[in-house]
């Protein structure tokens, strides 16, 4: 098992964390670079940078598969562009286990597909789209009306 596989097994099976959210672009890049895999850099239409990361993963539910993760950053014109969210694209067999991990972490379920981590101000959304499990984590401070 290589370090990339171990990295994503930790994400998929041990716990859900806010991980890279709040870290700057260079910190996130260095963190994923040390795990191997294919990293792509880009700039969106609004001028903010993003990273995408593809690697071979393994879980008990899905076996071996290719997973993709995307990180997007706030468009601040300095070296501190903070990561404001990430997305993962996984096999649909990961939907139920990932939802269970969100429940087990004690996050507040907003609706069927979304959970809120009140301590770190992260909204997690887990759903099926185009035959894949899509997981989105976004920094957002909710007021009582949003919850």
**Percent of the chain whose pLDDT exceeds 70:** 80
Q: Could you state, in order of their start, the residue ranges of all structural domains in the chain?
A: 3-139
The confidence score (pLDDT) of residue 80 equals: 73
Q: What is the DSSP string of 73-123?
A: E---SSTT-BEEEEEEEEEGGGHHHHHHHHHHTTPEEEETTEEEETTTTEE
In contact, 76 and 87? CB cutoff 8 Å: no
Q: Which of 27, 46, 22 is nearest to 140 (CA)?
A: 22
- In the structure, what pLDDT confidence band is assigned to residue 37 with cuts at 50, 70 and 90? confident
Looking at every residue in the chain, the average pLDDT score rounds to 81
Record the pTM.
0.77
pLDDT per position as a tens digit, 52-79: 989 888 888 888 988 899 998 887 666 6
3-139 in CATH: which number? 3.30.1460
Among the residue ranges 19-33, 94-108, 120-134, the one predicted with the least confidence is 19-33
Sign of the torsion formed by the C-alpha atoms of 99, 104, 105 and 108: positive
- Summarize the confidence of residues 108-121 as an average pLDDT: 92
Which secondary structure element, helix H or strand E, spans residue 33, and what is its range?
A: helix 25-33
Please determine, for residue 96, whether its predicted confidence score (pLDDT) is greater than 60.
yes
pLDDT at 19 over 80: no
Alpha carbon distance 47, 117 (integer Å): 28
Indicate the pLDDT class of residue 36, thresholds 50, 70 and 90.
Answer: confident
């Amino acid at each position: 098992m290589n370090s990339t596989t171990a990295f994503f097994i930790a994400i998929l099976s041990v716990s859900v964390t806010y991980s890279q959210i709040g870290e700057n672009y260079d910190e996130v890049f260095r963190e994923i670079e040390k795990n191997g895999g294919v990293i792509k850099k880009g700039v969106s239409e609004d001028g903010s940078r993003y990273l995408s990361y593809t690697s071979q993963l393994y879980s008990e539910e899905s076996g071996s598969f290719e997973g993709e993760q995307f990180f997007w950053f706030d468009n601040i014109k300095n070296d501190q562009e903070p990561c404001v969210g990430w997305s993962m694209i996984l096999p649909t067999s990961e939907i139920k286990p990932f939802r269970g991990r969100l429940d087990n972490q004690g996050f507040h379920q907003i609706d069927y597909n979304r959970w809120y981590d009140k301590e770190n101000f992260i909204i997690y959304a887990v759903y099926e789209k185009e035959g894949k499990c899509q997981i989105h984590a976004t920094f957002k401070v909710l007021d009582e009306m949003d919850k």
